[in-house]
Structure 1
Amino acid sequence: MLHLAFADHPSLHPANWLRDLEAQVPRKAIRDFWNRFRYGPEAPVSDERIFVPPLDIRHSYDARAGKRPLRRQHSGMIIGGDWDLCRVPMAGQIKIESSRMRYLDGLRWDQTPLFEKMLREVAEGKRPDGCESRADVVHRYETLDRIFEETRRRGRLLSQSELPEYFRREHGGILVHIGRNGELLRASGGMHRFAIAQILELPEMPAQLGVIHAEALYKGLLARFRKPQAA
């Protein structure tokens, strides 16, 4: 019985307890309980999987203007106010533009500004996207090329539960916030996969729910993203 519980909920497995703490799962569990208590059974849950049309996402959340970071650990939070008005256009962001240069213009990764930026940060002793050497950077983008080709062939992006490193719900997926009128705002996490979804013009993609505006929840707008709509 215990084995089955671990199989159904990978984050409960002892091997994942450290990861639970890093992902703030205990805090998220309390948040989920409180959300359900306060807002009822349709309240959002942390790391929830939603389905969104990538081409409808034109802005990302601007943490500097909003004066607060809204990252994966805030998944499932219900926040009012004007945070959702703090946004910047997606067009021109280095990961988006470099991905377009690679997959639409046919350039090599080492011809893109993103690759140069990654090497520069490695030389400064940083670990961009976990890379510690030029070889790591090359390997990362070879892997991304494989993901691109597999996604194009399959016609969709895989959800986190379909991946070998699956951890909890859609944790680790493309992070998306929901504004007061249902506007979708990109956040940190999964930018390359998001770029692939846009370049391939996928009608829909799985995403990790970030923060949802209180007004959107009261309007019942979360429901439209909870089930896949694309045929």
Structure 2
Amino acid sequence: MAMRNILNSVLKKGVVRRFNAYKVDIVNKFKYGLNAPLKYQLLYCEPSQINSYTRFNPTNLPEHLSYIPTYLVKDRTMINALKNQFIVGGDWDKMIVPINCLRSYRQTIEKLRSGRSWQEVGEFERNVSKTIALTNINRKDKEVLAENRFKKLDELIKNVEETKYLKSQFELKRNSFREMGGIEVFVGREGELIQAHGGRHRLAIARHFSLSVIPVCVSLVHEDCVKSGKFSELKKRSLKLKGRHEYAQKKQS
């Protein structure tokens, strides 16, 4: 029953996110022009372009306000802008740490290098404990979910090792919405890509196996990046890398 409720919640959340994304896109096109970034937009990049991880979380407010500085909590206008506009200024892109400081990333790399299990490197327990702390799921149900999740990750590891290729969300699910559910990134004011809260294991896998190109999902963009034209430059670079990605896909078939 608990797992069924989780599935229904995920499906409902996906529909709501699509609807909200379209609303955000319309507003931003009026404000920044027809070439404004799209929420959950697919970009292609080199894994080496992502070297930092955000310490800022604009989602699920107010439940997760502990992730962000006090002055931002008080600034409700800033919070609403981050949740509803997708393109926003401020210093959120400076709230970062090196990617190696991220425990889930670090433990995934450790597993890949040593050949140890998820349990042995501590990633299984970290995942179970964190989810129990943030939800009402009991430990037994969460362990079942975690086992399924890490089983899929093991299958992904095997596939990426063999093919040196990471599929986009559209390649995985034809009814996917843009790149929602992919490796999540924020785009800072200089066009830098910052690892966000989704796809940390996949990024570690891609970097470990030295993939040349990966698809990523853009979930937040700095306003200065759009106004300066740096996001347009990022899209041009992405288009070139897309060709490399498609070439790698053809080599598989």
Residue in 2 aligned with 1:4?
none
Residues 1:221 and 2:199 aligned together:
no
After superposition, give the CA deviation of every residue in 1:101-160 in whole Å (9 maximum; x if it has no partner): 1111211211012122234457779578x9824343233212101111112222221101
Taking the aligned partners of 1:127 and 1:18, their CA distance within structure 2 comes to 18
Distance 1:224 1:143, change over 3 A: same
Residues 1:170 and 2:163 aligned together:
no
Alignment partner of 2:29 out of 19, 31, 36? 36
| Structure 1 vs Structure 2 CA RMSD | 3.0
Taking the aligned partners of 1:159 and 1:175, their CA distance within structure 2 comes to 12
> Structure 2 matches for 1:20-31, cutoff 5 A?
20-23=14-17, 25-31=18-24
Residue in 2 aligned with 1:145?
154
Aligned sequence identity (%): 25
Taking the aligned partners of 1:105 and 1:186, their CA distance within structure 2 comes to 24
Q: Which runs of 5+ in 1 are unaligned?
A: 1-15
How far is 1:223 from its partner?
2.5
Residue in 2 aligned with 1:53?
46
Alignment partner of 1:116 out of 116, 125, 144? 125
Pick which of 200-209 and 215-224 moved more.
215-224
Contact 1:177 1:184 in 2 (8 A): yes
SS at the partner of 1:58?
strand
Distance 1:19 1:116, change over 3 A: closer
Taking the aligned partners of 1:170 and 1:30, their CA distance within structure 2 comes to 17
Residue in 2 aligned with 1:156?
165
Residues 1:87 and 2:92 aligned together:
no
Contact 1:76 1:212 in 2 (8 A): no
SS at the partner of 1:59?
strand
SS at the partner of 1:51?
strand
**What TM-score results when the alignment is normalised by the length of structure 2?**
0.73
Of Structure 1 and Structure 2, which has the larger fraction of its residues in helix? 2
SS at the partner of 2:109?
helix
Contact 2:53 2:102 in 1 (8 A): no
Q: Which runs of 5+ in 2 are unaligned?
A: 1-9, 57-66, 245-253
**What TM-score results when the alignment is normalised by the length of structure 1?**
0.79
Residue in 2 aligned with 1:6?
none
After superposition, give the CA deviation of every residue in 1:179-222 in whole Å (9 maximum; x if it has no partner): 11111111111111111111112222111112111111122222
Taking the aligned partners of 1:39 and 1:180, their CA distance within structure 2 comes to 15
Taking the aligned partners of 1:187 and 1:77, their CA distance within structure 2 comes to 14
After superposition, give the CA deviation of every residue in 1:36-78 in whole Å (9 maximum; x if it has no partner): 11211210111110112221211111123554699xx959711
Alignment partner of 1:183 out of 184, 189, 192? 192
SS at the partner of 1:91?
helix
Q: How many matched pairs? A: 212
Distance 1:28 1:125, change over 3 A: closer
Residue in 2 aligned with 1:194?
203
